[in-house]
Structure 1
Amino acid sequence: MIEVANRLHTVEEYYFSKKLREVNLLIASGKPIINLGIGSPDMQPPQKVIDAITSSFQDPNAHKYQSYQGLPELRDAMAAFYKDHFKVSLSPATEILPLMGSKEGIMHISMAYLNEGDEVLIPNPGYPTYESVTKLVGAKPIFYELDAKNNWSPDLKAISKLDLSKVKIMWVNYPHMPTGALPNTYLFEELVAFAKKHHILIVNDNPYSFVLNDNQQSILSVAGSKEVCLELNSLSKTFNMAGWRVGMVVGDSRHISNILKVKSNMDSGMFYGIQKGAIEALKCTKMWFVTLNNVYRERRNLVWQLADALNCTYDKQATGLFVWAKLPSRLKSEEFIDKVLKDNHIFITPGTIFGSKGEGYIRFSLCASTEVLIEAIARVK
């Protein structure tokens, strides 16, 4: 056997990649598993999005290589989307880079800015990919803890007392995943000031703004933020297009240019039809979000009932595609979800996959129909 690269010794296979094999084996053996673990939207994208990709197949340009920067009209649509919803002005030509899902942007940004031995501030709890990508590029994760007492917001005064001389990037994620916490009024302003003081690039990962949230915010709305901030966004959750793999990174033209140097060496452009569909999605009126959230609101009420049946507590002010629930004291997250999987055939995500501060919590996805959720409640009761 050829010896693998040392970087592979620093990471594990993604949790859901492993756990879903177990879940699928149970399904294959005849177990009626209800999957409330993954945030993969189960509803259709807008019809005009499907129509756009379908009609694009006959375009003479559809099957050619595409621009590394995406179609100009896609970047125009992304700029208009940010202007309409976030009150942020962006140059379509220089301040927007379409991505094949925002997840790839985490790798591109890390490769563009991190050298071996650099350090990265990562939220705990937080999206596991921040840590794994940091390790894959040879940098060192420095975790900053979040907790419910501070509404899952970073304690920037405490972080400032650390040795930050090697820190290049700080990952933030608001609305926060997995907890659903919204940023307080001044958090983005404080983060921008923190970034300037310590010469750190802050990246806000922002794919959940439109799910059960009427107050969309972007860190780039803060004056002077483009110098020290980037923002990732995605169409996956907002328009039920997770499998399409469409996202974006936005920010100062110099940052975008640096990221493009990485991206242009890693793919050959996004499929034309997907871009045409994305353009139509970004043009959706507010009625799309109202309709989407009416469904998620009904589902969330049922998930709250399920959490109640499992003797969990939760924050009704939280937003997003998940319900973050606290277990009764002394229960361990992974032991609990394994028991529910065995006894009730329901898969729920343990909070520990998001970091040590996720111990004692579980996360329910809203990506299941009301009928499925009612069945889950019945199984627990």
Structure 2
Amino acid sequence: MYSDRITSLPPYLFATIDAAKANMKAKGVDVIDLGVGDPDQPTPPHIVDSMCDAVRNPATHRYPSYTGMLSFREAATNWCKESRGLDLDPATEALTLIGSKEGVAHLPLAFINPGDIALCPDPAYPVYKIGTEFAGGKAHIMPLLEENDFLPDLEAISKDVLAKTKMMFLNYPNNPTSATADTKFFEEVVQFARENNIVVIHDNAYSEMCYDGYKAPSFLSVDGAMEVGMELYSLSKTYNMTGWRLAFAVGNKEAIQGFGKVKSNIDSGAFDAIQMAGITALSSSQQCVADMNKIYEERRDVLLKGLNGIGLDVKAPKATFYVWTPVPDGHDSIGFSKLLLEEAGIVATPGVGFGEHGEGYIRFALTQTAERISEAVGRMEKLTI
């Protein structure tokens, strides 16, 4: 009944976690969910108010533009200028997305022919690989290893693979490892992409979730990056707008144009009222972002103190709202996640769910209050690990 591409898909990681969580709740367990990275705080009121006003305007009720409202793309490129120093043309170098997941899933359709290769990090957001395979391409895994600071080893990719490679996915600050990349690495990527004629897609969904004075660099800020790729920015985590589904792509004019052709044949664009709320988010004071980062930083510190207190060697992440934790000796990632859920009522994501190179780790999301995280730590202290 189903197509081969559907039957070959593994169960979506977070759907499986939701089922296990629901099973424990049905048994009456007080579950502390540190699994899916969905902000627990509401969207800031000024953004919600903007949306309400826009929804009442009948002009927003009609089909939106495929490429997104020019005024939203102007707000997006102005934000990129102010926050990243990027000079971008909103008419030709920016594109509105219905969330960055949609963008990641559809991008390979613009650049991948059947049999072509996309370089995909591992561990990683599963949609990089899935989107590639849906387009008929093949995903070549770039292992992200702790000894390499969770950066891919570009020199390890064979010439035979590179001869068929059309795309590369990168994501820093990184999900799930919370690793960061500096401009030196991005310069190496630009040179690598030029030499091998590769389109680079930098998924920058966690660009604003930074701590301890750290500021994540933009891939596009590196000389030559505009010639080889694009960057995706999401409003989901930055402004607690995960359910709103709004993001944007910026970068190389030809790449943006090709991606736009795909989207014009697949969707009808993001709802104008949501884009108008997005304009408010991007154009208003960014104090709400700074306030949320303080909350996440406090939660991070509570969790780190607890995890290190029970003997786990965990480094403080400078960005994202994830803590990437090695599992105790004698456990694998699924087994330890199962132990946490069944014996302590704590949901954490097994690292192997992000790819084979995620084995040996679990991911905690800082999406509960500091008090609930402290309670989770207390439950872990009572476990025999």
TM-score in same-fold range (> 0.5): yes
Equivalent runs, 1:119-268 vs 2, <5 Å: 119-159=117-157, 161=159, 163-213=161-211, 214-268=214-268
Shift of 1:310: 4.7
The aligned amino acid for 2:312 is C
Say yes or no: does 1:365 pair with 2:368.
no
User: How many correspondences in the alignment?
Assistant: 379
In the aligned structure 2, how far is the partner of 1:23 from the partner of 1:91? 45
Which residue in 2 is equivalent to 1:116?
Answer: 114
Aligned to 2:334: 334
Q: Deviations over 1:223-272 (max 9, x none)?
A: 22122111111001111101101111111221111111111112222112
The SS at the match of 1:377 is: helix
Deviates more, 1:237-246 or 1:303-312: 303-312
Partners of 1:136 and 1:16 lie apart in 2 by 19
Contact (CA 8 Å) 2:107, 2:131: kept in 1 or not? no
**Aligned position for 1:85:** 83
Which residue is 2:348 aligned to? 348
- Matched with 1:66 is 64
Q: Is the 8 A contact 2:180 2:216 kept in 1?
A: no
- AA partner of residue 128 (structure 1): P
CA distance in 2, matches of 1:343, 1:310: 16
Q: Quick check: 1:179–1:318 contact (8 Å CA) kept in 2?
A: no
- Structure 1 unmatched runs, 5+: none
Question: How many angstroms apart in 2 are the aligned matches of 1:210 and 1:299?
Answer: 17
Q: Provide the residue aligned with 1:97 in structure 2.
A: 95
Match of 1:283 in 2: 283
Other-structure match for 2:308: 308
Counterpart Cα distance in 2 of 1:229 and 1:366: 31
Q: Give the Cα separation in 1 of the matches to 2:259 and 2:189.
A: 22
Secondary structure in 2 aligned to 1:242? Answer: coil
Distance 1:67 1:298 in 2: 41
Distance 2:173 2:257 in 1: 27
C-alpha distance in structure 2 between counterparts of 1:237 and 1:191, whole Å: 26
Q: CA deviation at 1:177?
A: 1.2
Q: Take 2:62 and 2:167, find their aligned partners in 1: how far apart are those partners?
A: 36
* 4+ aligned runs moved over 4 Å, structure 1: none
Moved more, 362-371 or 303-312: 303-312
Read off the aligned partner of 1:21 and give its amino acid letter: A
Correspondence for 2:22: 24
| 1:48-94 Cα distance to aligned partner (Å, 9 max, x none) | 10110111122121211111111111111000111011111111111
CA distance in 1, matches of 2:124, 2:82: 28
Aligned-pair identity (%) = 38
Using the TM superposition, name which of 61-70 and 312-321 deviates more: 312-321
Preserved contact between residue 333 and residue 352 of structure 1 (Cα < 8 Å): yes
1:78 maps to a residue whose letter is A
TM-score, with structure 1 as normaliser? 0.96
Normalized against structure 2, the TM-score is what? 0.95
What is residue 44 of structure 1 aligned with on the other side?
42
When the two chains are superposed, the root-mean-square deviation of aligned CA atoms in Å is 1.5
Q: Tell me which amino acid in the other structure corresponds to 1:181.
A: A
Shift in Å, 1:328: 2.4
Structure 1 position 337, deviation (Å): 0.6
Q: Is the 8 A contact 1:212 1:319 kept in 2?
A: yes
| Cα deviation 1:84-108 (Å, max 9, x = unaligned) | 1111111111111010100111122
Bigger mean CA deviation after superposition, 371-380 or 29-38: 371-380
- Give the Cα–Cα distance (whole angstroms) in 2 for the partners of residues 229 and 55 of structure 1: 36
CA distance in 2, matches of 1:234, 1:291: 18
3-state SS of paired residue (1:61): helix
Amino acid of the structure 1 residue aligned with 2:376: A
In structure 1, C-alpha distance between the alignment counterparts of 2:210 and 2:232, rounded to whole Å: 19
Alpha-carbon deviation of 1:162?
Answer: 5.2
Secondary structure of 2:243 counterpart: helix
Q: State the shift of 1:174 in Å.
A: 0.8
CA contact (8 A) 2:182 2:217 kept: no
| Aligned-pair CA distance for 1:149 | 1.3
Determine the C-alpha separation between the residues in 2 that align with 1:251 and 1:380. 45
Measure how far apart 1:45 and its partner are: 1.8
* Deviation per residue, 1:184-234 (Å, 9 max, x gap): 340111100000000111111101111124313111111221221111110
Stretches of structure 2 that go unaligned for 5 or more consecutive residues are: none
| Aligned residue type for 2:358 | G
Partner Cα distance (2:159, 2:316) in 1:
33
